[in-house]
């Protein structure tokens, strides 16, 4: 993905810390646009409007079009053609993705200070016959807040997500290769602090959050496309938080910088949301597709 073209205003991309706020893959960027701009309005998005934002964030047009086509093939989007114009409606499947994802992402702001010390432990052995499921398993467990302190061992301080994990294991046909337990850490072997250090690379995550906070410290994008693109880049970054940050309890990770980063993004989102959606409405107004 190429760099975003320059524009007026004090956008994040004008500073050295821009690398902390890269918008991610074409797929993740499209999901951000759909979830932040299309889903809340319950209105379809023109192809031209989607391309305007994706190209404004540095994607080549062909790559952006491929992402839209793949989104349709994945069942997120349904096309509606009116003459030369094509608009895209969100499917019910996509709406469920956004509902669940929105809850998980916004929860990163909450101080987790009511933990009772219970862990959910999942032991998974992936046989050769199921090795194609490895990536989906790791991605799903990481999104659910699980760490991987030892091969085949996954644990999370969020036992309330048991059903989410059970559904994932069932979809991947790994029930016969999985065991799970709930309980507290005992005094045999590693203590809780060392288990946490083995399960997550908190130093690397903390450094990344510091870069994000530096990039957002003095963010004042100009109204219009500058604010629209900066906003989507920022939200795209926020939506990736749960894939690396387990949202650990306060007693395990007090004053966690991740909550500061999430709060900063939430505050800026509140400031920018109305002008950003107004600009999106202008871009998405009826017109000829480029």
Q: 179 with 128, same domain?
A: yes
Say whether pLDDT at 204 is over 70: yes
CATH of the domain at 158: 3.30.70
Query: Is-contact 119 182, C-beta < 8 A?
Result: yes
Structural domain tally of the chain? 2
Instruction: Please report the pLDDT score of residue 6 as a whole number.
Output: 32
What confidence score (pLDDT) does residue 84 get?
80
pLDDT for position 85:
84
Examine the pLDDT at 290 and tell me if it is beyond 50. no
Does residue 194 fall inside a structural domain? no
Query: CB of 240 within 8 A of CB of 104?
Result: no
For residues 28 and 151, state if they share a domain.
no
Q: CA dihedral defined by 266, 168, 70, 43, rounded to 10 degrees? A: -50
On whether both 207 and 103 belong to a single domain, the answer is yes
Across residues 203-228, what is the average pLDDT?
94
Asked if residue 266 belongs to a domain, the reply is yes
Same domain for 209 and 227?
yes
For the residues 81-109, what does the mean pLDDT come to? 92
Residues 29-65 pLDDT 10s = 999 999 999 999 989 999 999 999 999 999 999 999 9
pTM (two decimals): 0.85
The band of 4, judged by pLDDT with boundaries at 50, 70 and 90, is: very low
Q: Is residue 254 part of a domain?
A: yes
> Is residue 7 scored above 90 in pLDDT?
no
User: Which range scores top for mean pLDDT: 11-15, 36-40, 218-222?
Assistant: 36-40
pLDDT tens-place string over residues 262-273: 999 999 999 999
Task: Say yes or no: 74 and 20 in one domain.
Answer: yes
CA–chain centroid gap for 282, Å, is 26
Q: Is 38 helix (H, G, I), strand (E, B) or coil?
A: helix
d(CA 64, CA 68): 6
User: Does residue 134 share a domain with residue 258?
Assistant: no
* 4 within domain boundaries: no
Residue 263: closest CA among 113, 107, 29, 158: 107
Do the beta carbons of residue 168 and residue 106 sit within 8 Å? no
Residue 101, Cα to own-chain centre: how many angstroms?
7
Asked, for residue 188, whether it belongs to a domain, the answer is no
CA atoms within 13 A on the CB side of 31: 24
Range of the domain at 233: 12-109+203-283
Whether 229 has a pLDDT exceeding 90, the answer reads yes
Among positive and negative, which fits the CA dihedral 246, 153, 190, 205? negative
> What b/e sequence results for 235-267 when a residue is b if at least 16 CB atoms lie within 10 Å of its CB, and e otherwise?
bbbbbbbbebbbbbbeebbeebbbbebbebbee
Q: For residue 67, is it within any domain?
A: yes
Q: What is the model's pLDDT at position 143? A: 93
- Comparing 286 with 260, the larger pLDDT belongs to 260
Token reading at 52 = 């305007």
pLDDT digits (tens, 9 = 90+) for 130-178: 989 999 999 999 999 999 999 999 999 999 999 999 999 999 999 999 9
Residue 82 confidence class, pLDDT cut points 50, 70, 90: confident
Q: Which of 4-18, 129-143, 255-269 has the lowest mean pLDDT?
A: 4-18
Contacts of 57 (CB under 8 A, 6+ apart): 4, 23, 29, 229, 232, 233
- Residues 268 and 164 reside in one and the same domain: no
- The arithmetic mean of pLDDT across residues 192-209, rounded, is 95
Residue 136 falls inside a structural domain: yes
Residues 94 and 131 in one domain: no
CATH number, domain of 69, equals: 1.10.10.10
Indicate whether 123 and 104 sit together in one domain: no
């Amino acid at each position: 993905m190429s760099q975003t073209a320059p524009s007026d205003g004090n956008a994040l991309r004008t500073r050295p810390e821009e690398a902390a706020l890269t918008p991610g893959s074409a797929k993740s960027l499209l999901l951000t646009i759909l979830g932040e701009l299309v889903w809340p309005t319950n209105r379809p998005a023109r192809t031209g409007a989607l391309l305007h934002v994706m190209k404004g964030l540095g994607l080549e047009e062909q790559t952006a079009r491929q992402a839209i086509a793949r989104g349709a093939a994945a069942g997120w989007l349904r096309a509606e053609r009116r003459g030369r114009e094509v608009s895209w409606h969100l499917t019910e499947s996509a709406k469920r993705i956004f509902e669940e994802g929105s809850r998980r992402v916004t929860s990163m702001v909450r101080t987790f200070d009511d933990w009772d010390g219970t862990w959910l432990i999942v032991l998974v052995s992936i046989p050769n016959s199921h090795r194609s499921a490895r990536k989906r398993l790791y991605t799903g467990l990481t999104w659910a807040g699980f760490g991987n302190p030892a091969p085949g061992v996954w644990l999370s301080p969020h036992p309330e997500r048991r059903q989410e994990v059970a559904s994932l294991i069932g979809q991947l046909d790994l029930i016969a290769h999985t065991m799970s337990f709930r309980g507290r850490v005992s005094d045999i072997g590693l203590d809780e602090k060392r288990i946490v250090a083995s399960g997550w690379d908190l130093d690397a995550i903390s450094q990344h959050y510091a870069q994000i906070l530096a990039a957002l410290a003095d963010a004042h994008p100009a109204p219009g496309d500058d604010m629209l693109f900066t906003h989507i880049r920022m939200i795209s970054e926020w939506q990736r938080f749960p894939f690396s940050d387990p949202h650990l309890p306060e007693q395990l990770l007090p004053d966690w910088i991740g909550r500061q980063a999430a709060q900063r993004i939430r505050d800026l989102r509140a400031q920018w949301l109305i002008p950003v959606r107004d600009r999106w409405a202008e871009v998405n107004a009826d017109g000829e597709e480029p």
